[in-house]
Amino acid sequence: MAGLWVCVRAAGAAVWLAVAPAFAQDLSALARVDVAASRLADSGDGITLDLALTTAVPWRVRLADDPARVILDFREVDWAALPQVANTSRRVTDLAAGRVPGGWSRLVLTLDAPHRVASAEMRTATDGSGSALVRLRLSPTTAEAFAARAAQPDPAAWSLPPAAVTTAPRTRQKGEGPLVVVLDPGHGGIDPGAEHGGLTEADLMLRFARDLKEALTRAGGFEVVLTRDADVFVPLDARVAIAHAVGADVFLSLHADAVAEGVATGATIYTLSERASDAASAALAERHDRDNVLAGVSLSGQDDLVAKVLMDLARVETAPRSDRLSAALAAALTSAGVKLHKVPRRGAAFSVLRAPDIPSVLIELGYLSSSVDRRRLSDPEWTARVVSSILVALQDWAIADAAEGTLLRQ
């Protein structure tokens, strides 16, 4: 856990029920506990928790009453090593951890008396390791003040958008109206994504998405929606829900990766594949998300087998359309002289690509771990060239896609 640290603060307090007391988890978590750099101890009249993680992940802090508890939610942490963490606190009477629905994991501190959250922050390493340190400080408070704080509602920033109300399955675009494009700038808020050389993936992708939206709007024939238009955290399932809520014809997720080992440069275009095209793609998908989103198809009351069949049927038509979109993007970028990765088209199990009825691709525009790519990603001329290429690809794909749809309907 060596290296300098940058602070990212958590906020909010609300009532949440207790978690099942289980340390072992049957999942491949995004982050793991670094025992050597973690500790729980009484400090003065309060409590201190230092929780070192191998990877920075989105997180939040909550309070729950009766009994007094502090709840920390993460996406996702493997708690297997937690019992080995140094624990000398007498004010924490119970420590429980486990998995909760929706791709989250939870750590619960049961207290012998009410305490307030004096400070809560995640310090992410700037040495390129991706590790993080969560530092929590608790101070004594009254039972009345604790209960009032615990009763506050869930902050809106963490709430999912309302479920889209649909009366019929989404039909493919016919070329008769504007193409509804949802642009998804990756990461945001407490999840900065890849970081290198003073640049963050979340900031770069938001700026790129705004430039692309402006170009598409100016060209005409497009209706463009961003999953986020500020530096805020949007859950992965909420991003797909937004696409369904606006009736998206196309979903483009925008990212800029970093590799810890080796050298990688150039843009890569991903489509959904449960079996990754290579180990690097599998690792990237695991870093990006841990969700298994069944978005866009009503599966109420269906068991897992029926759900899988329905999803597979829905993708029979959509998957080839996504593949053709990937090919169109690769061709347009190549024609414009934009540097592509040596394997420019790949597949991986990204949750944001799981909408079965919306052609979806994820574009890694470059690698922040590459000094060459960092210069490109910060260059307005390069950005304009990539934006123009994506515009051309979408125009060409939309025409061919609508023509194919017409033939199928006949």
Q: What is the pLDDT of residue 275?
A: 56
Is residue 287 in a domain?
yes
Angle at 234 between CA 170 and CA 77, to 5 degrees: 115
pLDDT for 180 beyond 80:
yes
The closest alpha carbon to 227, from 161, 171, 287, belongs to 161
pLDDT band at 280 (very low <50, low <70, confident <90, very high): very low
389 and 261 part of one domain: yes
CATH number, domain containing residue 16: 2.60.40.3500
133: Cβ contacts below 8 Å, ≥ 6 apart: 1, 5, 37, 50, 51, 52, 53, 122, 123
The closest alpha carbon to 128, from 262, 226, 237, 12, belongs to 262
190 and 327 part of one domain: yes
pLDDT band at 195 (very low <50, low <70, confident <90, very high): confident
State mean pLDDT over 191-206: 88
Q: What is the pLDDT of residue 351?
A: 67
* Radius of gyration of the chain, Cα coordinates, nearest whole angstrom: 23
- Highest averaged pLDDT of the listed ranges 118-122, 200-204, 278-282: 200-204
283 and 142 part of one domain: no
Q: How many independent structural domains does the chain possess?
A: 2
Q: Are 187 and 227 in contact (CB under 8 A)?
A: no
DSSP strands (E only) in 126-194: 132-140, 179-185
Q: Are 204 and 258 in contact (CB under 8 A)?
A: no
CA distance linking residue 114 with residue 339, whole number of Å: 57
Q: What is the pLDDT of residue 217?
A: 96
104 and 190 part of one domain: no
Structural tokens at position 260: 């810890």
- Highest averaged pLDDT of the listed ranges 53-62, 172-181, 192-201, 374-383: 374-383
352 and 216 part of one domain: yes
State pLDDT tens for residues 1-16: 333 333 333 333 332 3
Of 78 and 223, the one with more pLDDT: 223
Is residue 165 in a domain?
no
Structural tokens at position 256: 């800029």
State mean pLDDT over 96-121: 87
194 and 229 part of one domain: yes
Is residue 239 in a domain?
yes
pLDDT for 156 beyond 60:
no
95 and 187 part of one domain: no
Is residue 168 in a domain?
no
In which domain, by residue range, is 32 found? 5-153
Q: What is the pLDDT of residue 260?
A: 61
State mean pLDDT over 166-183: 77
State mean pLDDT over 332-347: 90
106 and 43 part of one domain: yes
- Highest averaged pLDDT of the listed ranges 36-40, 230-234, 263-267, 273-277: 36-40
Of 48 and 2, the one with more pLDDT: 48
State pLDDT tens for residues 287-332: 444 322 222 333 333 344 444 444 444 456 688 899 999 999 999 9
**How many beta carbons lie within 10 A of that of residue 165, not counting itself?**
6
Q: What is the pLDDT of residue 22?
A: 32
45 and 123 part of one domain: yes
pLDDT for 372 beyond 50:
yes
pLDDT band at 87 (very low <50, low <70, confident <90, very high): very high
For the question of whether the overall pTM of this predicted structure is more than 0.85, the answer is no
Q: What is the pLDDT of residue 105?
A: 86
pLDDT for 101 beyond 60:
yes
Kindly compute the dihedral angle of the four CA atoms of residues 252, 242, 321, 292, in this order, to the nearest 10 degrees.
90
CA distance linking residue 52 with residue 345, whole number of Å: 36
SS3 38: coil
Q: What is the pLDDT of residue 206?
A: 95
CA distance linking residue 331 with residue 392, whole number of Å: 10
CATH number, domain containing residue 286: 3.40.630.40
212 and 339 part of one domain: yes
pLDDT for 113 beyond 70:
yes
State mean pLDDT over 71-88: 89
Is residue 267 in a domain?
yes
142 and 244 part of one domain: no
CA distance linking residue 350 with residue 288, whole number of Å: 7
Q: What is the DSSP string of 327-386?
A: HHHHHHHHHTT--EEEEEEEEE--GGG--TTS-EEEEEEEETTSHHHHHHHT-HHHHHHH
196 and 254 part of one domain: yes
Is residue 199 in a domain?
yes
Minimum mean pLDDT range among 22-31, 268-277, 380-389 = 22-31
Mean residue pLDDT of the chain comes to 78
Q: What is the pLDDT of residue 253?
A: 93
pLDDT for 166 beyond 50:
no
CA distance linking residue 350 with residue 353, whole number of Å: 6
295: Cβ contacts below 8 Å, ≥ 6 apart: 237, 240, 241, 243, 244, 354, 355, 356
Only one residue has tokens 């309302």, namely: 162
Only one residue has tokens 């009453």, namely: 65
State pLDDT tens for residues 217-272: 999 999 999 999 998 878 777 788 888 888 899 999 999 987 765 577 899 998 88
Q: 138 phi and psi, to 5 degrees?
A: -115, 140
Is residue 344 in a domain?
yes
Of 236 and 151, the one with more pLDDT: 151
Is residue 161 in a domain?
no
Write the DSSP symbol of residue 130: -
Q: Is the peptide bond before 83 cis (omega within 30 degrees of 0)?
A: no
CA distance linking residue 366 with residue 256, whole number of Å: 5
CA distance linking residue 249 with residue 322, whole number of Å: 11
Residue 197 buriedness (CB in 10 A; 0-12 / 13-18 / 19+): exposed
Write the DSSP symbol of residue 174: -
Domain end among 100, 118, 153: 153
Pairing of strands 59-64, 69-74: antiparallel
pLDDT for 276 beyond 50:
no
312: Cβ contacts below 8 Å, ≥ 6 apart: none
